[in-house]
A and B are shown apart, each in its own frame.
Chain A
């Protein structure tokens, strides 16, 4: 652990070249390395840099790009900027949330996927936009986004199309309020 802080400090000197350490830049480096901000690393850094944990926590929670929870190996983001909103991004997000079985801001239990909404990705002309692992997909509809993610799920989880459908339906069903309503009813 001590080594980590040491390395970061060096990296810091290189990137910012400033005498006073920018905490934001430091946390960005931590996040880049670990995909999130692990508590023990933050504690270690606070000691090293002579910063209070409160200071760290306030910066880490003020900025949206920092996460205190581990994030999924595959990152799925939908844009919720204005251009995307007026072209129906809300429905796209909902559908992705259903297919992945997680809400925006959450990570799937196996740590494979996380779903996020972003304010604007700067490709508004192609609204609505979905980004999967850094790859941009424009002019989405709920159906096209679902197909895109299912394709990804098939590959990453090694499922057949039928197995995948079952899996999605099961997850969606468990998360759906009507499952409780309909319990005992004649669904399908």
Chain B
């Protein structure tokens, strides 16, 4: 293990170290994986981990049993998640009180703690092993497969699983043309939104005659409702870093930059640590592994602007200036960071690279659908039973993801729509559930793959309100460069707001559609070009709902405040006063033990009375 101290100077040294670490790992196959991702830490997994550490120490198990605080294990809804290896026993919702029992029963006596097992909501059966839970069984986890095997702060863990082997192979045996050829053959398409073939992008930049080139990893993850890039960076940062270094070699860049949004402080910290570890081992720096390739990586932290996810705006932001996009061409492959040829790739795109090199382009491309290779990670959230990260082969139908993996809609409600692609995407109704999730299919349906947000909505979500939500988001985030984006979005927002208030007309509705088309066709960057999608797609699939708002002044989902009212059923109300005490507007009056009533002129329609009534006597009309 001397290499860990002295650094790696050649390929054989890398392979030796990998082998040594692998052997060491095999000798100690007992370990606990405690999920340390943001979701589970919000459930208290940090305390769980600390207590495990103490308990293992006390029982004298700390030598024989490892403890890993891992990246996202996927099933965030059931956190804190703990998996006991080598058996792979999956415990959910683990509290500090449960820890002794797990150590005592499972670690010492080899028994399963029934109470903490996952229970299948349909059959009621308790499931012991993670792989047997439908949520995992139906996924194909490639990028996330190692999350429960590695501690993200340990480069040894990554190396023990063959990490940086792809980089070794590339530097030792391949030319940059061969690497690009391999990526092209894999049919990998960019995972950041537009789905541009990654190999072609690299080829274009690689062909630019320039001394200095850059490769930037886009970890801005602006789509509100998506978190796979964060989870990759926090759960397996070295895989992204390895992809970035290989990308740098392929395009001929000597410097890489990872641009991370400010809202992800943990990711910033984990990535900085990973870079320092790679530098120390000589996997970054001069003449990596004895080759002629030198490469360094720095981190640039965003400051909160959605438009900075757009490539040319991102470059401005890395420069430290106002993040306004610019007209293209010249493309970034010609003139990007510091006016040098630059490639920008999404986090997930780069995380795929080592796997492609390792498994070979052909095997990789067989994973996906007809047109694009590989898997895609979706953040499955909203009103679905199992919220979390799912990784599936590209092209899997929406229905399978939402119902078989996600377990369907929460609370027995009806499915209404699924939103994909974030603010640039659209909403798809139940009739589109058999659509394969692939770039072109989603585009044709008026939505987008985007970065992988998948927000499921039930009958209680209003589509007009959702369109308003996205317009407000985009209107806030528009940089204001293009007149049609700046003014168009705010006029559209006004129009949709008027609809949610029941103050619109069918004539104005027609104008809204027209304006949406103008904004789409006349703006410079992707924000405006796709900014009308949420409006256009909801109009396309939910016209009736718009019509109800406009013509009947009614919000069928019961969301738009100006179109609903709250009442108390005087026959049911027993006068307990719960709603009166909770009402923030003081709009509820009534004597104790007598039916209460709501003063409509004071009611702000917050709905707290509905939530607080113990006998469901409050009704929403």
A residues sitting closer than 8 Å to B (CB atoms) are: 16-18, 20-28, 58-59, 62-66, 79-87, 91, 94-95, 98, 118-127, 129, 136-138, 141-143, 172-173, 176, 178, 181-182, 187
Beta-carbon contact of B382 and A59 below 8 Å: no
Residues of A contacting B582 with CB < 8 Å? 143
> In the complex, what distance in Å separates the CA atom of A59 from the CA atom of B303?
10
With a CB–CB cut-off of 8 A, which chain B residues contact A79?
224
A86-B457, A120-B263 as given contacts; A20 in contact with B319, CB under 8 Å: yes
Contact between B223 and A120, CB atoms less than 8 A apart: yes
Q: How far, in Å, is A62 (CB) from chain B's closest CB?
A: 5
Q: Rank and list the top 10 A-B pairs by shortest CB-CB distance, nearest first.
A: A22-B320, A81-B224, A125-B76, A64-B304, A63-B303, A120-B224, A82-B225, A136-B42, A125-B387, A65-B304
Which of B354-362, B431-439, B584-592 forms part of the interface with chain A?
B584-592
Which residues of the other chain, A, contact B323 by a CB distance below 8 angstroms? 62-63
Q: Contact between B586 and A187 (Cβ–Cβ < 8 Å)?
A: yes
Question: Provided the pairs A86-B455, A120-B226 are in contact, do residues A127 and B381 lie with their beta carbons within 8 angstroms?
Answer: yes
Q: Is the CB of A178 within 8 A of B587?
A: yes
Q: Are A126 and B76 in contact (CB under 8 A)?
A: yes
Please state if B607 and A59 are interface contacts (CB–CB under 8 Å). no
Q: Do A122 and B611 contact each other (CB < 8 Å), given the known contacts A17-B298, A87-B382, A178-B587?
A: no
Min distance, Cβ A105 to any Cβ of chain B, angstroms: 12
Residues in B with CB closer than 8 Å to A26 are 320
Interchain CB contact under 8 A, B611 and A82: no
Query: Given the complex of chains A and B, what is the CA–CA distance between A85 and B470 in angstroms?
Result: 10
Residues of B close to A23: CB separation below 8 A: 320-321
Contact A119:B321 (CB < 8 A) given known A82-B419, A124-B227, A178-B586? no
When each residue 251-283 of chain B gets 1 if its CB lies under 8 Å from chain A and 0 otherwise, what string results?
000000000001110000000000000000000
Q: Is the CB of A66 within 8 A of B611?
A: no
A25 near B300 with CB under 8 A, answer yes
B466: A residues at CB distance < 8 A: 85-86
Q: Which of A24, A143, A187 contacts B608 (CB 8 A)?
A: A143
Q: Which chain A residues border B479 with CB–CB below 8 Å?
A: 62
Once the chains bind, are B42 and A176 in contact (CB under 8 Å)?
no
Q: How far is the CA of A18 from the CA of B255 in the complex (A)?
A: 12
The interface residues of chain A lying within 8 Å CB-to-CB of B79 are: 126
Report if B306 contacts A (CB, 8 A).
Answer: yes
Residues of A contacting B305 with CB < 8 Å?
62-64
Query: Contact check: which of B42, B320, B602 meets A25 at CB < 8 Å?
Result: B320
Smallest beta-carbon distance B233→chain A, Å: 10
> B residues within 8 A CB of A123?
38-39, 42, 76, 227
A176 touches B263 (CB 8 A): no
**Which B residues from 207 to 242 make CB contacts under 8 A with A?**
221-227, 230-231
With A123-B38, A138-B39 known, 19 other A-B pairs at CB within 8 A are A17-B298, A25-B300, A58-B322, A59-B321, A63-B303, A64-B303, A64-B304, A64-B305, A66-B303, A83-B455, A85-B466, A91-B606, A119-B222, A119-B224, A123-B39, A124-B225, A142-B608, A143-B612, A176-B585
Is the C-beta of B453 less than 8 angstroms from some C-beta in chain A? Answer: yes
Distance in Å: Cβ of B119 to nearest Cβ of chain A: 19
Which residues of B are in contact with A by a Cβ distance under 8 Å?
38-39, 41-43, 76-77, 79, 221-227, 230-231, 262-264, 298, 300-306, 317-323, 379-383, 387-389, 419, 422, 453, 455, 457, 461, 466, 469-470, 473, 479, 582, 584-587, 601-602, 606-608, 611-612
> Which B residues lie within 8 Å of A64 (CB)?
303-305
Q: Tell me the complex Cα distance, A59–B320, Å.
A: 8
Contact B263 A119 (CB under 8 A): yes
**Distance A118 CA – B261 CA, assembled complex (angstroms):** 12
How far apart are the CA atoms of A23 and B455 in the complex, in Å? 36
**A119 to B225 alpha-carbon distance, docked (Å):** 9
Contact B319–A124 (Cβ < 8 Å): no
When chains A and B are docked, how far (Å) is the Cα of A85 from the Cα of B463? Answer: 12
Of the candidates A86, A142, A173, the one having the most CB atoms from chain B within 10 angstroms of its own CB is A86
| Residues in A whose Cβ lies below 8 Å from that of B608 | 91, 95, 142-143
Please state if B611 and A142 are interface contacts (CB–CB under 8 Å): yes
- Give the complex CA separation of A64 and B381 in angstroms: 25
Chain A residue with minimal CB distance to B305? A63
* A63 to B587 Cα, complex, angstroms: 39
CB of B317 within 8 A of CB of A24, answer yes
- Cβ contacts under 8 Å, B455 to chain A: 82-83, 86
Nearest CB of chain A from residue B578's CB, rounded to whole Å: 11
CB distance from B317 to the nearest CB of A (A): 6
How near does chain A come to B458, taking the closest CB pair, in angstroms? 9
Residues of chain B within 8 A (CB-CB) of A62 are: 305, 322-323, 479
B7 shortest CB reach to chain A, Å: 20
Given contacts A59-B320, A143-B608, A25 and B301 within 8 Å (CB-CB): yes
> Which residues of the partner chain B approach A136 to less than 8 Å between Cβ atoms?
38, 41-42
Docked complex Cα distance between A86 and B403 (Å): 19
Find out whether the CB atom of B473 lies under 8 angstroms from the CB atom of A119: yes
* A98/B584 contact (C-beta < 8 A), A86-B382, A142-B606 known: yes
Query: From A18, which residue of chain B is reached at the shortest CB distance?
Result: B298
Give the Cβ gap from A57 to chain B, nearest Cβ, in Å: 10
Q: How far is the CA of A79 from the CA of B611 in the complex (A)?
A: 21
Q: How far is the CB of A42 from chain B (nearest CB, A)?
A: 15
CB distance from A133 to the nearest CB of B (A): 13
CB distance from B232 to the nearest CB of A (A): 11
Contact of A86 among B227, B320, B383, B606 (CB under 8 A): B383
> Closest chain A residue to B303 by CB distance?
A63
Residues of B within 8 A of A125 (CB): 39, 76-77, 227, 379-381, 387-389
19 inter-chain pairs at a CB distance below 8 angstroms, sorted by A residue, are: A24-B317, A59-B320, A59-B321, A59-B322, A64-B305, A82-B419, A83-B455, A86-B466, A87-B383, A120-B224, A120-B263, A121-B263, A124-B224, A124-B225, A124-B226, A125-B379, A125-B387, A129-B42, A142-B611
- B298–A16 CB distance below 8 A: yes
**Bound complex: CA A176 to CA B602 (Å):** 10
Q: Does the CB pair A82–B453 fall under 8 Å?
A: yes
Q: Give the residues in chain A near B607, CB-CB below 8 Å.
A: 91
Kindly list chain A residues whose C-beta atoms are within 8 Å of the C-beta of B300. 16, 22, 25
A120–B611 alpha-carbon span in the complex (Å): 25
Tell me, in angstroms, the Cα distance from A121 to B266 when the chains sit together: 11
CB distance from B519 to the nearest CB of A (A): 20
When C-beta atoms are compared, the residue in chain A nearest to B389 turns out to be A125
Alpha-carbon gap, A127 to B382, bound state (A): 7
The residue on B at minimum CB distance from A168 is B584
A124 contacts B381, CB within 8 Å? yes
Residue of B with least CB distance to A187:
B586
Which residues of B have CB within 8 Å of A142? 606, 608, 611
Rounded to whole angstroms, the CA-CA distance of A23 and B77 in the bound complex is 40
- The interface residues of chain A lying within 8 Å CB-to-CB of B612 are 143
Whether B320 pairs with A122 at a CB distance below 8 angstroms is no
List the B residue with the shortest CB-CB distance to A97.
B584
Partner of B585 from the list A81, A83, A84, A178 (CB cut-off 8 Å) is A178
Q: What residues of chain B lie closer than 8 Å to A187, measured between beta carbons?
A: 586
Bound together, the chains give a CA A79 to CA B226 distance in angstroms of 13
In angstroms, Cα B461 to Cα A95, docked, is: 20
Chain A residues with CB under 8 Å of B611's CB are 141-143
In the complex, A16 Cα to B416 Cα: how many Å?
Answer: 48
